[in-house]
Amino acid sequence: MKSWLTTHYPHPDPDTHPWHIYLQCQHKAAVSGIAIGDRVFYYEYKRQRPIKGHGKLLVGLRGIVRIAHVCGGLYHRNVKIEFADGAIGNYCWGIPTDRANTDGFVRLKDILDVLEYKPRSVLFGFNGGTGVKLLDDSQSCVLAELFATTPRPSR
């Protein structure tokens, strides 16, 4: 079993948007080797990127808010998002997950320590802009332990 870290914009409340790994078309190779049963850590940004026509900006917890497992293969989706600045995000790939655990949390500071990133990193443009990274066994174990021992903060 491999472990992956992926980034997500904050989800709405109530949350009806699936927690899958989402990739822009050019980043399909970033999940090469991903398989059913692999563990996925979800990092939630503090803020979403402003979307054209959506006035309300969602606020996230800025940390790992969920651990789930891959439950299906890579699938194609027709989802283009126009951002307020005019850029288009073509998120044409998805990977479904299930068996979610949301009972813990890992702060950004701790994530950066585990990944050996600079202290002021915010994970935008994460892993060459892919938004997903294969973790080594040590990183995965430490993040899972931190998640299990840190209570999830309130929104």
User: Angle CA(11)–CA(93)–CA(63) in degrees, nearest 5?
Assistant: 35
Residue 50 falls inside a structural domain: yes
Residue 142 falls inside a structural domain: yes
Residue 119 falls inside a structural domain: yes
Structure-model confidence comparison of residues 57 and 117, the more confident one: 117
Amino acid 105: pLDDT: 98
CATH code for position 145: 3.10.590.10
Helix axes 137-149, 108-115, angle to 10 degrees: 160
Share of the chain above pLDDT 90, in %: 70
Mean pLDDT of 32-45: 97
d(CA 25, CA 28): 6
Residue 89 falls inside a structural domain: yes
Residue 154 falls inside a structural domain: no
Residue 155 falls inside a structural domain: no
d(CA 101, CA 64): 11
Residue 99 falls inside a structural domain: yes
Amino acid 41: pLDDT: 98
pLDDT at 30 over 80: yes
Amino acid 80: pLDDT: 87
Give the position of tokens 């109530």.
14
Mean pLDDT of 146-154: 95
* Number of domains present in the structure of the chain: 1
Domain that holds residue 102: 3-149
Q: Which pLDDT band, with edges at 50, 70 and 90, does 16 fall under?
A: confident
Confirm if 88 and 102 have CB atoms less than 8 A apart: no
66-108 per-position pLDDT tens digit? 999 999 999 999 988 888 899 898 999 999 999 999 999 999 9
97-112 per-position pLDDT tens digit? 999 999 999 999 999 9
Closest CA to 119 of 108, 132, 127, 131: 108
Residue 55 falls inside a structural domain: yes
Q: Which pLDDT band, with edges at 50, 70 and 90, does 54 fall under?
A: confident
Amino acid 149: pLDDT: 97
pLDDT at 113 over 90: yes
